[in-house]
Amino acid sequence: MNEMNENLQHQIGVAAYYLSQKNYTYDTLCWMLAERQLVAQRDPRYAHRDRIREKAAEIYFYSTPYDILVWLIAELDIKLNIQKSRKPRDRII
């Protein structure tokens, strides 16, 4: 289990590095994190711009450091991709 956690941490670190290289603005990162958090929480309103804007504003005013935003986005991307890959596929009979 520990090796799996280390692998996951490594994947998140790599994803965070590549995300940081894109030099997104702080506002954009807040928006990206808001979208991912709403998807991860399975909020049925995650696709509504107003809800994303509210969540992004909460993140913005919390003043999370840039590098932490990048890490959190990368972490959610990895976790959402893992969840997506574990869903059972529709079978054609």
Q: For residue 93, is it within any domain? A: no
Q: Is residue 92 classed as helix, strand or coil in its secondary structure?
A: coil
Write out pLDDT tens, residues 7-47: 889 999 999 999 999 999 999 999 999 999 998 888 777 67
Q: Is the per-residue pLDDT at 48 higher than 60?
A: yes
Q: For residue 37, is it within any domain? A: yes
30-44, 52-66, 78-92: least confident range:
78-92
Q: Which residues contact 39 (CB under 8 A, 6 or more apart)?
A: 46, 76, 80
Q: For residue 50, is it within any domain? A: yes
Q: For residue 49, is it within any domain? A: yes
pLDDT at 1: 54
Number of neighbouring beta carbons within 10 Å of residue 17: 11
Q: Is the per-residue pLDDT at 91 higher than 80?
A: no
Q: For residue 91, is it within any domain? A: no
Tokens 């994947």 found at: 11
Domain that holds residue 13: 2-80
The DSSP code sequence of 5-54 is: HHHHHHHHHHHHHHHHTT---HHHHHHHHHHHHHHHTT-TTTT-HHHHHH
Q: For residue 92, is it within any domain? A: no
Q: Kindly report the pTM of this predicted structure.
A: 0.82
Q: Is the per-residue pLDDT at 78 higher than 70?
A: yes
Q: For residue 65, is it within any domain? A: yes
Q: For residue 54, is it within any domain? A: yes
